[in-house]
């Protein structure tokens, strides 16, 4: 049995500098009773991410500029849960329609991943859809400009190997899907 124990949260204080990147300064007591009183964590809202399998056998992705990384990225569509979303499937439905113009109803849960467990509370709920088709208008947020692109599963694998797909949420969701549902990729 492991001797590793969780830290005890003693207090937390909002130190956010703006609405787009919430921060908490936390104080923890470590298992050895030492106090860490300057640990900062971002409390970004959780995310729904969708791997859309299209009717023609390709898989849809979003190609867009990401200012944190300062580069154009290939990612599966997704976004943060907002107050007006009933649940994570509602978030997935909203984001897939907004970013790719795919109005789908049948979302299949793949699993949950954690993007940055040391410094962020964010969790990503991964889904896939089958037989997707572009059937509605895209409706971007004010700061979004997305090109919808389509790849085969083999092309996605090669793009990960080549470093052209390099965002951890998309790579983690792809691996999780491949391991849990290999029959989808045949």
The domain locations on the chain are 8-42, 47-185
**pLDDT for the residue 20:** 84
How many of the other CB atoms lie within 10 Å of CB of 53?
19
Any alpha helices (H) in the chain, and if so which ranges? 88-100, 153-162, 168-180
**pLDDT for the residue 139:** 83
Please tell me the number of Cα atoms within 13 Å of 1 on its side-chain side: 1
Assess whether pLDDT exceeds 80 at residue 141.
no
**pLDDT for the residue 144:** 79
- For residue 91, give the nearest of 40, 54, 47, 58 by alpha carbon: 47
Q: What is the pLDDT of residues 74-125, one digit of tens each?
A: 999 999 988 888 999 999 999 999 999 999 989 999 999 999 999 999 999 9
Q: Is 111 exposed, middle or buried (0-12, 13-18, 19+ CB in 10 A)?
A: middle
**pLDDT for the residue 157:** 98
pTM of the predicted protein model:
0.92
Compute the average pLDDT of residues 162-175: 98
Assess whether pLDDT exceeds 80 at residue 6.
yes
Contact present, 181 and 89 (Cβ < 8 Å): no
**pLDDT for the residue 10:** 97
**pLDDT for the residue 137:** 85
- For residue 47, give the nearest of 106, 99, 12 by alpha carbon: 99
Q: What is the pLDDT of residues 41-66, one digit of tens each?
A: 999 999 999 999 999 999 999 999 99
**pLDDT for the residue 34:** 97
- What does the mean pLDDT of the chain come to? 94
- For residue 37, give the nearest of 9, 1, 15, 58 by alpha carbon: 9
Fold of the 47-185 domain: Nucleoside Triphosphate Pyrophosphohydrolase (3.90.79)
pLDDT top residue among 183 and 139: 183
Q: What are phi and psi of 172, to 5 degrees?
A: -65, -45
Sign of CA dihedral 151, 154, 157, 161: negative
């Amino acid at each position: 049995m492991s001797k590793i124990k969780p830290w005890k949260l003693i207090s937390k204080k909002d130190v956010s500098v703006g609405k787009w990147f919430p921060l908490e300064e936390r104080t923890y007591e470590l298992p050895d009773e030492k106090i860490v009183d300057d640990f900062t964590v971002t409390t970004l809202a959780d995310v729904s991410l969708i791997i859309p399998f299209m009717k023609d056998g390709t898989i849809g992705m979003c190609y867009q500029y990401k200012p944190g990384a300062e580069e154009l990225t290939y990612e599966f569509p997704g976004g943060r849960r907002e107050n007006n979303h009933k649940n994570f499937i509602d978030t997935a439905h909203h984001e897939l329609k907004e970013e790719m113009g795919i109005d789908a109803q049948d979302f299949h849960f793949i699993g949950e991943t954690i993007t940055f467990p040391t410094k962020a509370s964010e969790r990503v709920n991964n889904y896939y859809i089958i037989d997707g088709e572009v059937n509605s208008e895209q409706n971007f947020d004010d700061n979004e400009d997305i090109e919808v692109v389509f790849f085969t599963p083999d092309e996605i694998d090669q793009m990960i190997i080549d470093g052209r797909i390099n965002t951890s949420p998309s790579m983690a969701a792809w691996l999780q899907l491949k391991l849990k549902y290999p029959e989808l990729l045949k």
